[in-house]
Amino acid sequence: MSIIEKALAKKQQHAEKLAKQEQEEKSNLETANAQPQAPEPVIAQDVAPVKAITNDITTMPPASNPADVQATQTAAPEAMPEAVLKATSQSAPRPAHQASELQSLNLNLNKLKQQGFLVDSNERSQTHEEFRFVKRRVLKTAFGPLKDTLPNANLVLLTSALSNEGKTHTALNLALSIAMEPEKTVLLVDADVLSPSICHTLGVRAGVGLIDYLLGKTSTLQEIIYNTNIPNLRIMPAGGKHHLTSELLASERMANLASELAERYSDRVIIFDAPPLLGINETQALTSLVGQQLVVVEENKTPLHSLESAISLLNADRAIGLVLNKSVQTKNLYAGYGYQYAENQ
C-alpha cells in the first residue's frame, strides 16, 4: 500500500472515531434529560420558619365559622399569623349590651286632676299650699343643714299607723308637689309590697319592680325605674308578690339599694310609700334605711294609743314628721298638716 493510501485510511478511521464519540455523547445527553433531577438540599435556616408556623396552627383556637377555617388552611405562610389573630379576635365574646334608657309610663293627667291629685302646676288651691308647706320641710331636711346629721337624708319613708288613712294619696301628692320644683326630681317607690297601689291609683301597668330586684331577677336600677309624662317624676313599682317580703326588705340587698339611691341620686328626693306600722313587720325593716319618716294621721279616726304605738316603732335617730289628713278645720290654711321632728337622742 502506498503512503497516500495509508494516509487516506488513517483519516477515514479518525473520522469514524469522531462520529462514534459524537453519537455516544448525544445518547448520554438524551438519557440524562429523561431521568428526574434530584431535589436541592434543604438549608437548615429555612426549616425554622416552617416549624414556627406549624406550631401556630396546632395551638390556634377554633375559628368562629367555617369560612375562617378555610381561610386559615389556604393562607400563605407569611400571612398565617394574621389569620390566626383574626380567628382569635372573632372567637372572643363581645361585652354585654348596656342597659337601655328608662321605660316610660303615660299618666292620664285629666283623670288624676279630677281625683284630687296635684298635676296642674298652674293651679293655686288650698291643697297645693298645704303640700307646699310639707314639701318645704322635707326639702329643707334633705338638702339643708340637717342633711349632714342624718344618714340618707333625701330618703323619705311615708307610712301610717293603720290602713286606709290616706297614706298613698298623701305620698303621691307630696311627690307631685316636689316634681313641680324646677331643679328637683322625685322618685316614688311603691314599698307597700303587701298591697301595692301606686300604679293602680295612677291607672298604669308596669313590669318588674322592687321585689323583682331584691330577688335578683333584675340587676340594674334602670330596669325598675320608670319615667312618666310628668318631667320630674319617676316611679318604682312594687313588682311581683312574694311570701318573704319582710325578709327581702330587711336584706342586705335592700340596704345596698337604699344606699345606692341616696348616693347616686343625691340631688333627688326618694319617697317610699310603705305599709302601715301596726300589725305589719315590713315597714320597720325600712326605718333604719331612710333619713326622714312621715306618719299620716287621719283626723278623728286614728286612736291616740295607736298613734303612740306606731311612733314607738320608728327610728328615734331619724327625723319624724306627722301629717294630719282629712282635716275638717278650714280656718287655718295649714291646719290640715302638722310636721315636726323628734329630737335626736
Q: Is residue 330 part of a domain?
A: no
Looking at per-residue pLDDT, the higher value among 80 and 20 belongs to 20
Provide the pLDDT confidence category of residue 6 given band limits of 50, 70 and 90.
low
- Please state the rounded mean pLDDT for residues 298-317: 91
Residue 225: predicted pLDDT: 94
Spatial strand order in the sheet of 292-298:
103-105, 226-228, 233-236, 186-190, 269-273, 155-160, 292-298, 319-325
Beta bridge partners of 157: 272, 293
Q: Which long-range contacts (CB under 8 A, 24 or more apart) does 64-72 make?
A: 64/90, 64/91, 65/90
Percent of the chain predicted with pLDDT > 90:
46
3-state secondary structure of 125: coil
Q: What is the DSSP string of 240-264?
A: S--TTHHHHHTSHHHHHHHHHHHHH
For the chain, the domain total comes to: 1
Q: Which domain holds residue 317?
A: 126-325
The H-or-E segment that residue 188 falls in is strand 186-190
pLDDT tens column, 276-297 = 999 888 898 999 999 999 999 9
Q: Is residue 207 part of a domain?
A: yes
Q: Is residue 17 part of a domain?
A: no
Q: Is residue 300 part of a domain?
A: yes
Percent of the chain predicted with pLDDT > 70:
67
Q: What is the pTM of this model?
A: 0.67
- Please state the rounded mean pLDDT for residues 129-158: 93
Q: Which range has the worst mean pLDDT, 138-147, 153-162, 260-269, 328-337?
A: 328-337
Residue 189, domain CATH = 3.40.50.300
Q: Is residue 131 part of a domain?
A: yes
Residue 295: predicted pLDDT: 95
pLDDT tens column, 94-117 = 333 333 456 889 899 999 999 999
Residue 121: predicted pLDDT: 80
Q: Is residue 85 part of a domain?
A: no
Looking at per-residue pLDDT, the higher value among 104 and 327 belongs to 104
Q: Is residue 341 part of a domain?
A: no
pLDDT tens column, 218-254 = 888 889 999 999 999 999 999 988 888 889 999 999 9
Q: Is residue 92 part of a domain?
A: no
